[in-house]
């Protein structure tokens, strides 16, 4: 089983890059299942039904999210739509709309968690994922985890905590791809951050001016995703042994494309 996990897709430029590249990458690398981090799909903040459908048609099987999942208010009602394969982090309070894990969206079970270091106040991702797995989640399928977090230490800690229990723990949220792909001793694949699908000439996918001015002036300027030009497509390929459901290799799949 070969699973491709794609980093935060930023706005229309990121979506177009996925649309242009993903089908060819799937064929070329013989990919069976695709996750895509979608918190920035719609104009860089949040998701809409249309942008989710666009990514599913482009080849994504499950779309994970993070802190920006609530930014398009009209989408919150759709988080419980069983026809949309969208997760929000599991360790929000149980009353929160949506679901944080799925093991009935194809051949791979997916868990979405959010970090607590420099991100926000959430339930412990460690305790929440322990409870989920103890309840028999994902049995018979490889389980992959998108841990949407800022601190590389917190991401590595979760991977070691889950080593031997899931096929992979991958980090998202920073939009910066890391060069630390590995398989831990118990068979869990890990990378600190997948990266993004967003513009090369940008700050984390948005126009440099708004982001730069925020630091120069000390107040929040309008952030606009870069829509055209050369885009990075950052993802990671997890190769899973079907008999164990654990990883045999983890490698980066990074491309660039003009949109
Ligand atoms: Fe993001
Ligand atoms: Fe984020």
Residue 123 counted as domain residue: yes
Residue 184 falls inside a structural domain? yes
Query: Does any domain span residue 258?
Result: no
The count of domains in the chain is 1
Tell me what pLDDT residue 55 has. Answer: 98
Q: State the DSSP code for 58.
A: H
With respect to residue 107, please indicate whether it lies within any of the assigned structural domains. Answer: yes
Question: How many other β-carbons are positioned within 10 Å of the β-carbon of residue 72?
Answer: 18
Residues near ligand 2 ion, CB 5 Å cutoff: 66-67, 173
Ligand 2 center–CA 68 separation, angstroms? 6
Task: State mean pLDDT over 222-239.
Answer: 96
CA–CA separation, 122 vs 117, rounded Å? 10
Residues involved in catalysis? 68
pLDDT band at 43 (very low <50, low <70, confident <90, very high): very high
Whichever domain contains 16, its CATH number is 3.60.21.10
The model's pLDDT over 135-150, given as tens digits with 9 standing for 90+, comes to 999 999 999 999 999 9
CB 235 within 8 A of CB 253: yes
Ligand nearest to the CA of 88: 2
Where in the sequence is the domain holding 191, given as residue range(s)? 2-253
Q: How far is the CA of 140 from the centre of ligand 2 (A)?
A: 30
Residue pair 27/21 in contact (Cβ under 8 Å)? The answer is no
Residue 157 is assigned to a structural domain of this protein: yes
The rounded Å distance from CA 39 to ligand 2 centre is 7
Residues 173/148, Cβ–Cβ less than 8 Å: yes
259 located within any domain: no
Give domain status of residue 234, yes or no.
yes
| Residue 101 covered by a domain | yes
């Amino acid at each position: 089983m070969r699973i491709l996990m794609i980093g935060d897709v930023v706005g229309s430029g990121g979506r177009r890059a996925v649309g242009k590249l993903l089908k060819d990458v799937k064929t070329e690398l013989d990919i069976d299942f695709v996750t895509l981090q979608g918190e920035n799909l719609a104009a860089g903040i949040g998701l809409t039904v249309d942008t989710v459908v666009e990514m599913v048609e482009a080849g994504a099987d499950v779309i994970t999210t993070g802190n920006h999942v609530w930014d398009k208010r009209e989408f919150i009602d759709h988080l419980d739509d069983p026809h949309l394969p969208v997760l929000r982090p599991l360790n929000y309070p149980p009353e929160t709309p949506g679901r944080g894990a799925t093991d009935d969206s194809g051949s791979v079970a997916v868990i979405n968690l959010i970090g607590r270091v420099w991100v926000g106040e959430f339930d412990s991702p460690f305790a929440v994922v322990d409870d989920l797995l103890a309840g028999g989640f994902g049995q018979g399928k490889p389980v992959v985890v998108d841990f949407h977090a800022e601190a590389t230490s917190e991401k590595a800690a979760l991977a070691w905590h889950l080593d031997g229990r899931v096929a992979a723990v991958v980090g998202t949220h920073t939009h910066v791809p890391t060069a630390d792909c590995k398989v831990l001793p118990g068979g869990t694949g890990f990378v600190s951050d997948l990266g993004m699908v967003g513009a090369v000439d940008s700050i984390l996918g948005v126009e440099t001016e708004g982001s730069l001015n925020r630091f120069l002036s000390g107040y929040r300027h309008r952030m606009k995703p870069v829509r055209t030009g050369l885009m990075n497509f950052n993802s990671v390929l997890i190769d899973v042994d079907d008999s164990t459901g654990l990883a045999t290799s983890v490698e980066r799949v990074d491309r660039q494309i003009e949109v």
